[in-house]
Amino acid sequence: MTSGPYNYSYIFKYIIIGDMGVGKSCLLHQFTEKKFMADCPHTIGVEFGTRIIEVAGQKIKLQIWDTAGQERFRAVTRSYYRGAAGALMVYDITRRSTYNHLSSWLTDTRNLTNPSTVIFLIGNKSDLDGQRDVTYEEAKQFADENGLMFVEASAKTGQNVEEAFLETAKKIYQSIQDGRLDLNAAESGVQHKPAAPGRPLAAPPAHRDNCAC
Amino acid sequence: MEDVLDEVVSSEDLQKFEQVFHEQLHKGNITHKAQFEYAWCLVRSKYPTDIRKGILLLKELFNSHPDGKRDYLFYLAIGNARIKEYNKALHYVKAFLEIEPANQQVLTLERQINKRMEKEGLLGMAVAGGAVLAIGGLVGLGIALASSKK
């Protein structure tokens, strides 16, 4: 019997943040449904999505909180930052103002998450290269200066969308392996599920003490 | 945690937004923003009394502040679903979809409410079925005991 889709070893919590209209919900939708949502209305409050992925042979469930970009939701959506293992910070490559606001989003993220939270910068709408208002090089430099991972992506074509979500998970998983992320910390944003129900139990370790040899 | 209906507000958040609301209440000048933020926390509380209070605040906003109608309808649906007033919740969902028929966020909420209604209907039957089995078992045991005493 193979393990079903409901068996996973870890849960990682993500948040998606950024200005209104940069395509946060479309990125989430593209990642969870593999479809582009045209004419996406403004999100109310927060939206929630999940998907199970695999990193280094381990199944990981991503619990993703997609926050509304409109200012009137900002006070309450701040509480969703707490305990996020990954933060996807999104701007629109065709609207400079959404890029200029990144430092304020970054300050919020740094203040409200923990030092091990992985922050991934996404320049969305890469399919609209003709209307570009922010160069790749400039954003890359901003990302490097602030220690962020970075790609340009398109929720419309799906380009680099998988990569952004998966690379974030790989980095988080790496932090666990290196011991930089403490699984027992209340707000690490990671839950370990050592014995998921319905999962065949691993063979008990051999008892060396009882070994007569 | 499987969907938005499972999500519970932290007590610090509830207290924080409650305090702002009460300060404004004492000054006699409540802003839409403070009332909405407090109501948004209340409908995510684990206590039904809080949720009901949140629903009242949202209804008040719905009638007094047309600009935020879609937000208020959405959280009225969530609040009602969380106290298992599913028909009321679906009523708000329908009102929303009349304005924005293709809104994925609200269509998802509608599916989640339907799923809960279905699940709880089945669960109710399962509990009743279990009780019948238990009573049957007791009667059987009684008969067995009575006959063994003879």
Q: Is residue B147 part of a domain?
A: no
Q: Is residue A208 part of a domain?
A: no
Query: What are B113's two structure tokens?
Result: 């409410």
- In angstroms, the Cα distances linking A63 to A83, A146, A148, A153, B63 are 12, 25, 21, 21, 35
Counted domains in chain B: 1
Mean pLDDT, all residues of chain B: 88
Give the residue, A162 or B127, on which the prediction is more confident.
A162
Residue B148 sits at the chain A interface (C-beta within 8 Å): no
Q: Is residue B1 part of a domain?
A: no
Closest CA to B83 of B54, B63, B108: B54
Lowest mean pLDDT among A88-97, A141-150, B68-77, B116-125: B116-125
Q: Are the Cβ atoms of B40 and A48 closer than 8 angstroms?
A: no
> How many Å lie between the alpha carbon of A34 and the closest alpha carbon of chain B?
14
- CA A196-A198-A204 angle, 5° bins: 70
**pLDDT digits over B26-50, tens only?**
999 999 999 999 999 999 999 999 9
Contact A188, A82 (CB under 8 A): no
Q: Is residue B89 part of a domain?
A: yes
- Euclidean distance between CA atoms A183 and A74, whole angstroms: 29
Q: Is residue A211 part of a domain?
A: no
Q: Is residue A207 part of a domain?
A: no
Residue B17 sits at the chain A interface (C-beta within 8 Å): yes
* pLDDT given at position B128: 61
- Which CATH number characterizes residue B19's domain? 1.25.40.10
pLDDT in tens, chain A (213 residues): 444 556 899 999 999 999 999 999 999 999 999 999 888 899 999 999 999 999 999 999 999 999 999 999 999 999 999 999 999 999 999 999 999 999 999 999 999 999 999 999 999 999 999 999 999 999 999 999 999 999 999 999 999 999 999 999 999 999 999 988 888 777 888 988 865 454 444 444 444 444 444
Q: Is residue B18 part of a domain?
A: yes
Q: Is residue A183 part of a domain?
A: yes
Q: Which domain holds residue A91?
A: 10-192
Q: Enter the pTM of the model.
A: 0.85
Counted domains in chain A: 1
Residue B36 sits at the chain A interface (C-beta within 8 Å): yes
Q: Is residue B57 part of a domain?
A: yes
Chain A 34-63, residues with CB within 8 Å of chain B CB atoms: 37, 39-41, 43-48, 50, 63
Closest CA to B118 of B128, B106, B126: B126
- Which CATH number characterizes residue A166's domain? 3.40.50.300
Q: Which domain holds residue B90?
A: 6-121
Q: Is residue A206 part of a domain?
A: no
Q: Is residue A161 part of a domain?
A: yes
Residue A48, classed as helix, strand or coil, is strand
Nearest to A76 among B37, B70, B74 (CB): B37
Q: Is residue A180 part of a domain?
A: yes
* pLDDT given at position B150: 47
* Preferred mutation among A6, A30, A44 to probe B, highest tally of B CBs within 10 A: A44
Contact B77, B93 (CB under 8 A): yes
* pLDDT given at position B122: 59
